[in-house]
């Protein structure tokens, strides 16, 4: 799980075994899933927020792909692979 680049932000990302990236929200000590995208065809092995651009998310998967994502209001947009 990685926060969205804001200190003390209640928003964060979570990667799953089925290749989804989910945007989650921590509210009153409960996790609420706000949405998700099918980012990869196999499980996500790692995720990171880039130092140069804290609003970009990089994912790496068992499908041997590394992808760069830019959060939008509704979802994550794939900006490079």
The domain that holds 9 is classified in CATH as 2.40.10
pLDDT digits (tens, 9 = 90+) for 22-63: 988 888 889 999 888 999 999 999 999 888 887 789 999 999
> Which residues span the domain enclosing 23?
2-80
- How many whole angstroms separate alpha carbon 52 and alpha carbon 45? 22
Contact 13, 22 (CB under 8 A): yes
Q: What is the pTM of this model?
A: 0.77
Residue 56 DSSP symbol: -
Confidence of residue 1 (pLDDT cuts 50, 70, 90): very low
- What length is written for the chain? 81
> How many domains, in total, are found in the chain?
1
Of the two residues 17 and 77, the one the predictor is more confident about is: 17
């Amino acid at each position: 799980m990685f926060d969205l680049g804001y200190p003390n932000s209640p928003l964060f990302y979570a990667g799953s075994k089925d290749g989804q990236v989910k945007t989650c929200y921590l509210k009153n000590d409960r996790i609420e899933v706000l949405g998700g995208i099918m980012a990869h065809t196999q499980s996500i092995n790692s995720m990171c927020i880039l130092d140069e651009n804290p609003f970009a998310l990089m994912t790496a998967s068992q499908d041997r792909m590394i992808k760069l994502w830019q959060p939008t209001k509704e979802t994550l947009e794939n900006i490079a692979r």
